[in-house]
Amino acid sequence: MRPLLDAAARDEDEHIARNGPLPWQRTPGALIGALQEAGLTGRGGANFPTWRKLARTSVTDRPVVIANAAEGEPASNKDKVLFAHCPHLVLDGLQLAAEAVGASKVYLYGPKGTVVPQRKSDRFPIVYVEAPDTFTAGESSAVMAAVEGRKPRPRDASRDDMLVQNVETLARIAQIARYGPRWFRQHDTFLATISGAVRRPGVYEVDRTVAVHRLLDLAGGIEPTRAVLVGGYHGTWLKPDDVIADPGAGVAIALHGNESGLQKTAGIVRYLASQSTKQCGPCRFGLPALADAVAQRNLPQAARLAGLVDGRGACHHPDGVARLVRSSIDAFEEEWLR
């Protein structure tokens, strides 16, 4: 099943011929109600109900809508692939979201070199803002800061007048507006970037309720597979027989049976510590100390520090690192105890 990637088109004319014209809703609240019925949740990692975000923004003064194409997650490539092959589906969703909330401004926030196609269908002009190549630059509050001309630093706060939507979420909005909530519930897929111990790394479209081993089968998993990191660097280690409850950022990194799960985790935690914006104690001091504890296999210290940084940062970056570390303790306990 590839209902999203099969909508690919080279230009706007081919897009319209394949997918139909941009389905303006015109009736206030129509799109928000359809999204609620469809049960669409965000595909950028937070998994928050999309309709709630639109409804909240729609009642503010001079709302702003932002397409978030910044893919700071090193193991993810889904947004780049989607925007390269289906940009018009993404832009349809952006226009429809802007219509639904009565946007005063519309932005596309993406990596350097992102090209925003000029389209005759659009009613809302799109302003492109370049995203820096950092892990935290795609966090929603950092995106809001960037479009206002400030440094893209994440904060543990949100603004109701700014709607930030991942580009995959916007593409799904466009499909729900075209085909309806019932169609979407029958074609509820997500894009997964699969890498690591697989023969065919790449981006795959899979059912929302999928077993980990299905991802490995698609990408040609190399046996034996010890574990798979699902959800990205803020994700959790799962076993091949587990079912994915929350795909997070849509990332799956397969770990071969001969690899050290603890060593892999230590490298990721060290990277995440280097990517903090150093706005608070948990990031400035807690994450480097946590990286040291993981590298030294100091289980009591790692567990203690994970508890100290979790929920205490200026943003949710420390929470994600703590989640990864706790997951490694469950998945690789024998390595921790050597």
Domain architecture of the chain: domains with CATH: 5-186 (3.40.50.11540), 189-256 (3.10.20.600), 261-336 (1.20.1440.230)
In 3D, which of 38, 71, 31, 72 has the Cα closest to residue 55? 31
Distance spanning both ends of the chain, measured CA to CA: 44
- Mean pLDDT in the chain? 95
Query: Is 115 in a helix, a strand, or coil?
Result: coil
| pLDDT over 70, % of the chain | 99
CA dist list (Å): 250 to 44, 59, 71, 222: 8, 31, 11, 20
DSSP letter at 135? G
Q: What is the 3-state secondary structure (H, E, C) of 4-58?
A: CHHHCCCCHHHHHHHHCCCCCCCCCCHHHHHHHHHCCECCCCCCCEHHHHHHHHH
The predicted pLDDT at position 209 comes to 84
Residue 74, SS3 per DSSP: coil
pLDDT mean over 239-249: 90
120-149 pLDDT, tens per residue?
999 999 999 999 999 999 999 999 999 999
Taking the C-alpha atoms of residue 175 and residue 309, their distance in angstroms, rounded to an integer, is: 40
CB atoms within 10 A of CB 301: 15
C-alpha 238/C-alpha 244 separation (Å) is 8
